[in-house]
Chain A
Amino acid sequence: DAMVIQNPRYQVTQFGKPVTLSCSQTLNHNVMYWYQQKSSQAPKLLFHYYDKDFNNEADTPDNFQSRRPNTSFCFLDIRSPGLGDAAMYLCATSRDHGQPEAFFGQGTRLTVV
């Protein structure tokens, strides 16, 4: 089945040690998003790609970066994770700007120790 796949499902990293979360999609959607969801809070958009164009939300910390090497894959890099970065990270896709339905992956729960 076509879907959005996030790996790993659970990630433990050390304080300050760079970590990369991955997302792949078989939907061939143009738009890919990364949301951060802290415990008992609503998801919050960090950034998104429209094709190769990167769009950062104004309040996304510089500690968060992203790469999209091709249509299918998108990575979230956290350069120096702090304890406050512990959260569920959700990847989502949508077909195009005019197709508003977003499809979410299962998420990666990041723990910082």
Chain B
Amino acid sequence: DVKVTQSSRYLVKRTGEKVFLECVQDMDHENMFWYRQDPGLGLRLIYFSYDVKMKEKGDIPEGYSVSREKKERFSLILESASTNQTSMYLCASSRQVGNTEAFFGQGTRLTVV
């Protein structure tokens, strides 16, 4: 059974804290993604990576950075958390070749207070 696992289901952090969201996939997928979901805005792409140590900005990269040191792991970093980063964060992975769906993790509900 394929799996994308996010390290936390729920997180509460203080404004200004550095926050790490971890994601691991066991499918040997090349592509990995970080999205955030907000009511009325759908899923918006923050960053994606198509190879180890490679990263590409998505639609809303400001205030975020990412790290992909190993193929199976993709980390999202909030350098200095702000209240407008309160959101549901979703990690996904997919194969690189051919038409293929992305598999999502269960999501991390982050609240910044």
A and B found bound together: no
Q: Which residues of A does B touch, CB under 8 Å?
A: none
